[in-house]
Structure 1
């Protein structure tokens, strides 16, 4: 009697194909729902699609990322920006694990609603993570933060301490960023409210805030 073969179970390719096609369908449907302003339905579709995509053997990261981004846009359209970080963290577990485009969108969204401390926390957490320091978009995120957070708040004096705290930048990149905004001319700040500073006048971090972390995951 032949012995039973011991080894890894064969991959059910038909099931994988079904899951990935279902996830792609969810992505198409979610984009359509976003276009026609069915935002609540769009979010539900994104969540369903993410579950399907993660059942694929390698997690289908491109589809998960695309669905996550559409979901963020739907939350933004509903003006439910407070729910964006919990949503993202349920998809990726932590900010460090998020792809650049998701982090970029989170920073821009929180900058739009003037939640600057959250912008700082999100950007800093991602930029300080070792595996993100070789990301080709690392420099882009640093400049995104400068342009959308420090410049509007007239905090050019804080650009240098911020870039020096980014371990993924080399000397030339730090020098370039500091020089680019060194003589930036700001508009009058007479109508601006006093911002909540992340740094003191010496450029030292007073309080390093973290985004609201939601324990556990839905996916």
Structure 2
């Protein structure tokens, strides 16, 4: 744990350590101090951004992977401190919901996926499996497991099983999974047989799920076709009923005497139009009388009688 001075430090400080004492510290010791700060900020203060800054500063002070080999006796401690800084950094990124940045962030401090520590790779597989993005670790895990140096690590067999269960099988990569199991010398015959049985069972479940999915799609297609097929039949029935109704109405119209109907409509119009209570009826009556007289005079001219003679 850090001292009270480190706890009172602002969370966004770019250089958490300062002073001649800190400057005189070696890179592994400075990285270990930053690891303590990052752990306190992550667990106690829940300041994930500041914890990530400490992890970045510590990993940057240790240099790229492989440089620790030149440090002699401090090589092992530097690698462990760097691995711990990466673990804390992964947790901080996950807490900030920035899990997509985890793998690119790690590859800043490890030149290749094969150089990732076993603990870091395990944490990445668990993280991306939890967020249902196992395909992110497909190439990284395959490269790490096929590396000759990593095959001699004691964690190799457990990581292979984890990669198999959390990445390959959920993605349906059964051939690659079987190839990895058969080519792994770290597994004894019983372990290989158990893993091969797991692969076979997972493949059977995968096939059953695909069959069920295809059957469901076929049923949906059949239902859709049935609905689309029933729709034109209903439409045709409605059009037939509409045609019959129009035919019946037209036959009734043919039986109506149109002249009487038009005369009745005209008389109704005149009654409404010649309403004495309506102010517009008087001019219309006057024009109607004038037109009637003109028509009468044109058809029946006045009879001229000779003058009466006494």
* TM above 0.5: yes
Q: Which residue of 1 aligns with 2:149?
A: 131
* Bigger Rg, which one: 2
Q: Which residue of 2 aligns with 1:49?
A: 58
Give the conservation status (yes or no) of the 8 Å contact 2:93–2:101: yes
Indicate yes or no: 2:102 matched with 1:84: yes
User: Following TM superposition, by how much is the alpha carbon of 1:120 offset from its aligned partner in structure 2, in angstroms?
Assistant: 1.5
* Residues 143-198 of structure 1: CA deviation (Å, up to 9, x unaligned): 112332355x384x82x6414136444562432311355446969969xx9xxxxx
Q: What's the secondary structure of 2:129's corresponding residue? A: helix
Give the conservation status (yes or no) of the 8 Å contact 1:127–1:168: no
Superposition pairs for residues 1-219 of structure 1, below 5 Å? 17-35=25-43, 36-54=45-63, 57=71, 58-59=74-75, 60-150=78-168, 153=170, 155=172, 158=174, 161-165=176-180, 167-169=183-185, 170=187, 172=189, 173-180=191-198, 182-183=200-201
Structure 2 CA distance, aligned partners of 1:164 and 1:15?
51
TM-score for both structures, normalised by structure 2: 0.49
Structure 2 CA distance, aligned partners of 1:189 and 1:154?
13
* Residues 108-134 of structure 1: CA deviation (Å, up to 9, x unaligned): 111112112112222101001111111
Question: RMSD across aligned C-alpha pairs, in angstroms?
Answer: 3.2
Q: Can you give the 5+ residue segments of structure 2 that lack an aligned partner in the other structure? A: 1-21, 214-310
Q: Can you give the 5+ residue segments of structure 1 that lack an aligned partner in the other structure? A: 1-13, 194-219
Q: What's the secondary structure of 1:79's corresponding residue? A: coil
Give the conservation status (yes or no) of the 8 Å contact 1:27–1:66: yes
User: Following TM superposition, by how much is the alpha carbon of 1:84 offset from its aligned partner in structure 2, in angstroms?
Assistant: 0.7
Structure 2 CA distance, aligned partners of 1:16 and 1:118?
41
